[in-house]
A and B are shown apart, each in its own frame.
Chain A
């Protein structure tokens, strides 16, 4: 099946620094990628939707200047948490879907555990 690779799986950073998380589709062209945040014992919360070559669409309440999303190619999207604070500590997950005609399935990355100290 299709594979989505997310990197890094864990990251610890100091408060005030920025962290970049990568999401790659390894064997298909991901026309759309999604970024989620998940708190312990809660379901995934959609943060933003990104289409290759265009600006990301952010969900209500998500600060676009804090969570920078770049989808520069059909196989790579990045999420940068800028000026991270301890409250940004969370589990971040990406998913990707292929072009029209490809399976309707959405494939998830392994997730990234971000800890801001």
Chain B
């Protein structure tokens, strides 16, 4: 069964600090892994998308890594801001072309405090 597990479930950090969120998956065959940021009451917004051959991708203060051998990914947030407070969702897609056949993680709720 395809699964995506995220940790921690929730995280509280002080503004300006860095943090790393984890995502482990068992989805097969692997197509791509995406990280989304979801603000409360809003739809998810894409942060990064990585395919099998990519092991790191950055988007501003967000850097995602992917280890396809161990089936692990991380999202590193640098110099956190209050606006980073949100739920971060790891989504792994299976198959060759259908990006929508996806397995969602339960998300990590990040709270950045001043």
Contact = CB atoms under 8 A, between A and B. Distances in A.
A106 B97 contact: no
A59 B105 CA distance: 17
A18 B7 CA distance: 39
A44 B89 CA distance: 9
Interface string B45-56: 110010100000
B100 interface: yes
B100 A43 contact: no
**B interface, size bucket:** 20 to 34
Contacts, number: 58
B93 interface: yes
B70 interface: no
Contacts of A46: 102, 104
**A interface, size bucket:** 20 to 34
A47 B36 CA distance: 19
Nearest to B49: A105
A93 B99 contact: no
B106 A42 contact: yes
Given A43-B104, A105-B99, 16 more contacts: A4-B43, A43-B106, A44-B104, A93-B43, A93-B44, A95-B43, A103-B49, A104-B32, A105-B46, A105-B49, A106-B91, A106-B99, A106-B100, A107-B46, A110-B42, A110-B43
Interface of B: 31-32, 34, 36, 41-46, 49, 51, 89, 91, 93, 97-100, 102, 104-107, 109
